[in-house]
């Protein structure tokens, strides 16, 4: 079935992610600060075994009449919710495509959504209309390589509640990953110096012990 992409032009705002960790991030449009700002946060279980309990997305509209719209994936109870509307993940999400496909179909009161994934780019459609495109963080080969931060584009005029829902489902798989902040060359040099010092100290101590 053919699909119709929403016309993309220079006026389509680009949202950028300020941090590396998908679950602890700030998503905002630098070219237009008046647009809503989204934040992602996660809750981990207490104790020695750190298990992901929930991931939340909050939209803050800004302006004089600023409001907050919140959505959440409850990994423990396996539910997804946006502003009081809640569904079990088993009822909302369905895997489509082949065995190794990451494509999914989501059912929500506002309609059915299809997400297609290709090379780190996630596109969501409702009916035959593209609504948003999310591009995952691309880490360089080495810890000090240049990295491409995640980006997000909304291609259609939709409600803030729907935007929160789209972020939750577009980032569904990325939310389950742990991404450490890459080190700068300076930090790597410091770490290397510390490790070298520890190694030398260890050798000296070992030598002393052998001598004794």
Q: For the segment 161-205, what is each residue's pLDDT rounded down to a tens digit? A: 999 999 999 999 999 987 766 655 454 445 555 454 444 434 433
Mean pLDDT computed over every residue of the chain: 83
Q: Is the pLDDT of residue 154 over 60?
A: yes
- 142 and 189 co-located in one domain: no
Average pLDDT of span 101-115: 97
- 136 and 187 co-located in one domain: no
Q: What is the DSSP string of 55-84?
A: EEEEEE--STT--EEEEEEETTTTEEEETT
* Total Cβ atoms within 10 A of residue 160: 17
Q: How many domains does the chain have?
A: 2
Question: In the structure, what pLDDT confidence band is assigned to residue 98 with cuts at 50, 70 and 90?
Answer: confident
pLDDT of residue 143: 53
- 85 and 173 co-located in one domain: yes
Q: Is the pLDDT of residue 4 over 60?
A: no
- 143 and 73 co-located in one domain: yes
What percent of the chain has pLDDT above 70?
76
**Residue 200 lies in domain:** 182-212
- 118 and 194 co-located in one domain: no
- 26 and 128 co-located in one domain: yes
Q: What is the DSSP string of 143-196?
A: TTS--B--EEEE-S---HHHHHHHHHHHTTTGGG---PPPPPHHHHHHHHHHHH
- 114 and 208 co-located in one domain: no
9 in a structural domain: no
Q: What pTM was computed for the model?
A: 0.79
- 57 and 115 co-located in one domain: yes
Q: Is the pLDDT of residue 7 over 80?
A: no
- 145 and 171 co-located in one domain: yes
- 98 and 200 co-located in one domain: no
């Amino acid at each position: 079935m053919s699909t119709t992409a929403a016309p993309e032009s220079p006026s389509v705002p680009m949202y950028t992610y300020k941090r590396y960790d998908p679950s602890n991030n700030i998503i905002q449009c630098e070219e237009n600060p008046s647009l809503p700002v989204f934040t992602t946060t996660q809750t981990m279980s207490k104790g020695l075994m750190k298990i992901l309990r929930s991931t939340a997305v909050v939209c803050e509209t800004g302006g004089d009449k600023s409001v907050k719209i919140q959505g959440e994936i409850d990994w423990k109870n396996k539910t997804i919710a946006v502003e009081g509307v809640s569904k079990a993940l088993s009822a909302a999400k369905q895997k489509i495509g082949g065995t190794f496909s990451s494509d999914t179909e989501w059912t929500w009161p506002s309609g059915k959504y299809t997400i297609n994934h290709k090379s780190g780019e996630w596109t969501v459609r409702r009916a035959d209309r593209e609504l948003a495109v999310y591009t995952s963080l691309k880490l360089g080969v080495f810890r000090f390589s240049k990295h491409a931060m995640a980006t997000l584009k909304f291609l259609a005029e939709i409600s803030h509640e729907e935007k929160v829902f789209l972020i939750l489902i577009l980032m569904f798989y990325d939310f389950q990953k742990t991404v450490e902040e890459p080190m700068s060359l300076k930090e790597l040099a410091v770490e290397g110096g510390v490790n070298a010092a520890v190694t030398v100290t260890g050798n000296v101590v070992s030598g002393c012990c052998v001598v004794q």
